[in-house]
Structures are given as structure tokens and as C-alpha cells.
Structure 1
Amino acid sequence: MTRVRLGSIDRLRGAVMALMLVDHVREFFFLQHQVSDPMSLDGTSVALFFTRLSSHVCAPIFVLLTGLSAWLYGQKLGRSRNDTTRYLAQRGLILIVLELTVVSFAWSFELRPSRLYLQVIWAIGLSMLALAALLWLPRVWQITLAAGILCGHNLLDGVHFTPDQWGFVPWGILHDRSLIRLGDGLTVRTSYPVLPWIGLILAGYLLGPWYAPSVEPAQRQRRLLALGLGALLGFAVLRGLHLYGDQPWVAGPTEIHTFMAFLNVTKYPPSLHFILLTVGLGLLALVGLARLRDGQPLGRVLGQIGAVPMFFYLAHLYLLHLLYLVLKLVFGPNQGERYGFDGTGLIWLTAGVVLLALIPLCQRLARMKQTSTAPWLSYF
């Protein structure tokens, strides 16, 4: 049996995975020039700023598409809402376990790390668990809740708990990036507070009816285009007038630095400005990528990467870490105790080489997923 997939969704997912690869090369090979969050404009070069900024679309678009894919999963013949709930709960739990084990090991190569980072896979897993419950709400409630979370969570930015207070751990998981001490020398960093991501995965689920068979592709494209442009317009107005939704920006000494300050939105947790900018760009990309065809080289490659996102995610992390260790062994540490690149050009070049190495593997696995009914392939 051959499985039919929506090419534009896979192509967008593949594109953001490629950008994610660039940012993770930066994480391994440019650690001596790390940027803070929000990015510090005082000590960040223009090239490094935009290299980092290019990856900002990755997590929000992936979470949005996860919600959309959940709706599409539930529409297949013979599947009930119970089936979708079970699917989301099972996959969400698996992602959380992967974050704490296989993904954590890929970053550290330590069997007993002293610190665990709860990052994007963790956030997607918890968001899927939340969506498993929220999909039972009436649609009008879902719309209200998604809008309330995405637009209103910045009202909670001033709420904080100290480690000795009861709300420290749950609030650190939901909204306030925190370092949680678990004892025996182990700490946990909640890198991706999950509340805004729950709003975003629910928003993706609400886009699902636009992909119903009764909706003409041209009509869907117009809706996506209008929503994307509306999000970017909302970002420009809120940001330009220093209104609610993020930290205010300050004009820089040059035009390019002023532009950088304008785009310097908060990712942890994602502010309203961050969501409007990245989702707006992502929806426009979704419209554009729908015009590609799987027979075209670019469309085919992006679609094949996007069809096996978990494989790509795990494979690229392990390949990057192994490459880092090999280069450090061959050339020795050149940045203190680390090996690192001197310029951002090498980040993009390395990402391109690693991407070329992974494409044949993604292509083979994508073809297997399309033609096989083996359950284990669906997890990749």
C-alpha cells in the first residue's frame, strides 16, 4: 500500500529542519561566540545575528505543523477522536522519553550527565499531551483558548517563583525558564517553557479544516496567504509602536543595527512578537512551497527530509557531535578547551556538507515509509 502525504507540509518541515541544522552547527562549533537570549546586540556580529535569527522559524513552524498533522491524522477513514487522542498521548510520551535519553546523550555523550536540557522535543511532547485533551473541547473554545494563550501569556512575564516556593517547578515548566535541582548533583534546565507552545500546537490543529477535501486548494492558499500577511502586519504594528507583546527595542548606531534591534524578539518563552513574525513567515513559505512539485529536485529533497523528521533530528545531532570530536582530535583545541570556527561562513558550509550526507539516508527511509506498513517506520 502506498501512503499519500501532503507535499507542501513535508516540504516546509524539511526546510525548517535544514535551517535547524545550521543553528546546531553553530551550537557545536561556535560556542565561544554564543549569543544570549534575547540576542545581545552589543557583542554580536551582523553575520552571527542573522545566522541565529534564521533558525527562529524552526520550532514554531514545527509545532504548528504538528498540530495540523494531528488534525489530518484524525480525518483518515475509520479513525475516531479516541484514536487521535491515543495517537497524541503515545507520541507525546515517546518524545519526552527521547528528550531525556537519546537526545540528551547526543548533546553531551555522557551516560550520567549532571544537567538535562528540556528543549524542543520535550516541548513538542508535552504540547501533544495537552492537545490530546484539548481536542475534545468545542471548536469555539479551542479558538478562544489558543488566542488567549498566544496573545495573553506575556501578561504573565512578571510572575516568578523562588526555588523554595511551591510554584517554582510547575511554573518553570510552563512559562518561566528555570534551573531545577533534583538532587544527587542533577539539575534540569527548562529551556522551552511549554505554555506558549501549547497555544501554538492548538492553533495548528485549528488550521486543519482548511485542508478538508471540500476546500479548494486555491481557496486554502488565499486563506494561508491572508493569515500570514495579517500576522506580519500585526508584528510590524505592535513592534513598531512599542506596544504589548515583547521587550521594547532601541535604535542602534547604524541602520542595520536598528533593523537588528527591531527583529530581536524573545524566544524563551516565545513572545507574541516572536510568534507573529515566525508564524507569518512560515505561512507565506507554506504558500510558496505548495507551488513546488515533488518531481522538482528542491521540492523532492525537502519533502523527503520533512517526511522523516525524527530520523533527521537524531541523525544530524549524532553526526555533528562525532564530527566535532574528530576535528578536535585532528586539529586540537583552538578556542580554550574547545575546537571552534572563526567565522560564520564555516557554519553554513559545514551545515551544507552534513545536509548532503544525510539526504540519501532520508530519501531511502522516506521511500520505505511511503510503501511499507511497518508500524515502527511511523515513528521516524
Structure 2
Amino acid sequence: MSTTVLPGKQRIDSIDLLRGFVMIIMALDHVRDFFHVAAVTGNPTDMNTTTPVLFFTRWITHFCAPVFVFLTGTGAFLAGRKMSKQELSAFLFKRGLWLIAIELVIMNFIFSFNPHYSIVAVQVIWVIGWSLVILSVLHWLPLRVLLIIGLVLVLGHNLLDRFDAQPGQQVLWWAFLHQQFFDIVTPDHTIFVLYPLIPWPGILLLGYCMGSLFTKEFDPVKRRQWLLKGGLLITLAFFVLRWINIYGDPSLWATQKDGVHTVLSFFNVTKYPPSLLFLCMTLGPALIALWALETAKGKWKNFVVVYGRVPMFYYLIHFFLIHFICMIIFFSNGHTLTEGMKGFFWFRPDDFGYSLGGVYLIWAALVLSLYPLCKRYSEYKASHTQWWLSYL
């Protein structure tokens, strides 16, 4: 196992590397949201209008949320090795509430730049927060029981699809649990439940259980065997279940206008909430990546691992910077403040944007520009022990 020992702390490079890749790729989707010409008016997974490149640009970012939540569970297990059960409960509970507050107060402002919070969206930070709160209670149970709970949530939650309401008939409490929701809840406020809670706690629980493979007592050779076999099995399960086309995703694949789009339809699985097949498609390859990254070599590791060591810091900064740059371009094009104060993303008109080539260039420039800042904060975090560092 490759580890980096820093003053008073120990990091696992393979986990930080995978998380780093996830953070880098994640920025591509957010740059596309703000800078692609069809991001507001089109749908990159619509088989009638998408192109292979546009579909891939969206599809590759599907790995980000489930892998990040899964690794959050792994990190919680490893952090708990240095704490008592009571200390871990308190830490997970407080960190969960902190993330919920970040989603509601900070992220909603960064998304919209709307100080009135006319539209309140709950997304991935929200479900991570609630998942940690749930884990703060459940972690007292034996690891085997947690594994069973996680598997039930992940494998069985698509059975709940039958209880989902038709568009326009959703109820808010069910939306928080299992169905997307976008509706006016007061005359001045709209709520958007982009990330329903189920099955995200199950994903975090499975990641928590996987943390036991990364302890010093566990044989590294055996761990790599488990990661590879598990990753291959889960990936194979995706192809088999998707081909059967009966269970695991509410959207079935179908023959399209040509062979390429039929393949795209096969991989076009449901993210909100993440279906069983969505999770098999993303977490299977993630386990294989963890297997491969344990023995990876090269200077590129020093670059990628930086983003994986400061994920929350990077997440907040990169999103603010994306929206801020978009606002600068908005005003530089002669628009007024009144024109910009519309929609969910203020200062981002529906007809604004660039080609996919421009999106990729902005993405690369953004990630590279954040490297020095993330590296400096990573070094500071590694050599200091202030309590707040564990929350950012």
C-alpha cells in the first residue's frame, strides 16, 4: 500500500488519487453548465439531439458523485480508527450538520448569486451531510450489519420507483427521500430537490465498510484481490442487468436511429436518484481504479493527489470561480444588472455560451489555475492540527 506520511497524519495515496481524479472531472460538468451554449436549452442525454462527444462530456462526470460519497464513507471509517465510538458519533454528526448548512447557505448562493435565495436547491453536499448524520447513529452496529443495510438500500431502492408520483403531483416529503422535485413552496421561494436522499446513505455505508480493507492489519495483497474481483463483478453486473432491461433503472434502453446512439442509450442510466445500474456502472470501475492506483507510478501523481486531499476547499472555490468568471463575461458583453437577475443562475443568459471545445479549454485553465492554491492549502492542512481543518 502506498502511503504518504506527513507530520502527525497519514494519507492513503490510492484513495486521494481517485478522489483527485473525481474532483478534476467534476469541474468539467460545472464548467459545461455555465459555459456551454446549449447547457440551459438542451439536454446532453437526449438521444434525439445529443452527439457522442456531448454525451461523453456529461457521462464521464457521472462517476464523480457516487465515487466521492463512497470514499467519504471510507474516510469516515479510517478517521474513526483514531477515535472512540462516542467521539466518532459526535464528529460525524457535527460534520453532517455543517455540510447541510454549507449546501443551504453557501452553495445555494454560489450557484445562483441570488442573495434572496428565491430558488433553494439541495444537492450532493446535502445528501452527504444527512448520510453522515445517519452514520453517526448506525456506526455503533457491527460492520456486517452496516454492509447489509448498505446493500439493501443500493440493490433494492429501485423497488420504490413504483411509488413515485407523476410530474406535477409530487409531494415534498417523498421528494426528499426518493424523487426529484421542483416547485413553488411559497410565493417568493421555489425548492429544487435535485438529490433525493435514498440511496446515498447506502453508498456511504458501503464505502465505510470498504475502509476495513485499508487498515494496517489487512493484507495488502488480499485487499488488491478484493478490489479487482469486486470491481470486475460489479461492472459485469451492470452489463448483464442493463442488457436484460428489466430491473435496476427506471429508464430502459432502446434501439435508436443508428448504432452509435443505441450504444449511448445503453449507457444512459438514471442519476436522480442514482439507479442500481448507475451505481454499478460507476462504482465497479472505481474499485478497479483503486486496485490500479495502489501501484501507479509517475510524476503525474503529485499533481492529481493535491486535489484529492482538499476536496471541500476545491469544491467551494472552483464553483465560485466558475460563476464569477461567467458574471465578468456577462457584464463585459454589455448586459445590465437587471438583465442578469433572472433564472436560477444569475448572470447566465439562456443564449450565452461557447462550443464544447471552448468548454474544455476553460475547464483545463480552471483546474490548472487552482493547483497552486490547493497545493498550498494541502501543505498547510498536513502540518497543522486546528479543529476547523477537518471541516474544510
Q: For residues 34 and 184 of structure 1, do their structure 2 counterparts lie closer, same or farther at Cα, with a shift above 3 Å needed?
A: closer
Asked if residue 279 in structure 1 is aligned to residue 251 in structure 2, the reply is no
Is 1:216 aligned with 2:216?
Answer: no
Q: In the aligned structure 2, how far is the partner of 1:143 from the partner of 1:379?
A: 26
Structure 1 SS opposite 2:10: coil
Q: Secondary structure at the match of 2:191?
A: strand
> What are the residue-to-residue correspondences of 1:352-371 with 2, within 5 Å?
352-371=364-383
Which runs of 5 or more structure 1 residues have no equivalent in the other structure?
none
Given that 2:121 and 2:191 are in contact with CA atoms closer than 8 Å, whether structure 1 keeps it comes out as: yes
Distance in structure 2 (CA, Å) of the matches to 1:256 and 1:109: 39
Label 1:307 to 1:339 Cα distance change in 2 as closer, same or farther (>3 A): farther
Distance 2:167 2:326 in 1: 36
Question: Is 1:83 aligned to 2:80, yes or no?
Answer: no
- Aligned residue pairs total 374
Counterparts of 2:323 and 2:351, CA distance in 1? 12
Look up the equivalent residue of 2:51 and give its one-letter code. Answer: S
1:361 match: secondary structure: helix
CA distance in 2, matches of 1:37, 1:272: 22
How much has 1:308 moved relative to structure 2? 0.6
CA apart distance, 1:376: 1.9
1:264/1:35 CA distance change after superposition, 3 Å: farther
Q: Deviations over 1:135-188 (max 9, x none)?
A: 1223332222111111111011021358999x9332111101113544241121
Letter in 2 for 1:348: Y
Say yes or no: does 1:139 pair with 2:143: yes
Match of 2:321 among 309, 319, 322: 319
- 1:118 equivalent in structure 2: 122
Q: Which residue of 2 aligns with 1:70?
A: 76
Structure 2, unpaired ranges of 5+: 1-6, 336-346
SS in 2 for 1:270: coil
More deviation in 167-176 or 352-361? Answer: 167-176
Choose the corresponding residue for 2:106, options 89, 102, 105.
Answer: 102
User: Could you tell me how far apart the structure 2 residues matched to 1:154 and 1:237 are?
Assistant: 17
Equivalent position amino acid for 2:324 in 1: L
Contact 1:29 1:339 in 2 (8 A): no
TM-fit CA distance, 1:35: 7.9
1:10 counterpart residue number: 16
Residue 263 of structure 1 and its aligned partner are, at CA, apart by 0.3
2:175 is the alignment partner of 1:169: no
Contact 2:29–2:61, Cα closer than 8 Å, also in 1: yes
Identity of aligned residues (%): 38
- Between the aligned partners of 2:226 and 2:168, the Cα distance in structure 1 is 48
1:158 aligns with one of 162, 166, 169:
162
Q: Secondary structure at the match of 1:340?
A: coil
Q: Look up the SS of the partner of 1:318 in the other structure.
A: helix
SS in structure 2 at match of 1:346: helix
- Per-residue deviation, residues 288-327 of structure 1 (Å, max 9, x unmatched): 222235xx43211211111111110010011111111122
CA RMSD of aligned residues (A): 2.2
Alignment equivalent of 1:261, drawn from 262, 265, 272: 265
Aligned equivalents of 1:283, 1:110: Cα separation in 2: 39
> Does 2:32 align with 1:29?
no
Deviation at 1:189, TM superposition (A): 0.9
User: Could you tell me which residue of structure 1 aligns to residue 342 of structure 2?
Assistant: none
Deviations along 1:335-378, whole A, 9 cap, x unmatched?
Answer: 99456333212111111000111000000000011111122222
Q: Which residue of 2 aligns with 1:59?
A: 65
Give the aligned partner of residue 204 of structure 2: 201
Does the CA-based 8 Å contact 1:161-1:171 persist in structure 2? no
Higher deviation after alignment, 65-74 or 213-222: 213-222
Is contact 1:35-1:44 (8 Å) kept?
A: no
For the residues of structure 2 that align with 1:300 and 1:315, how far apart are their CA atoms?
Answer: 20
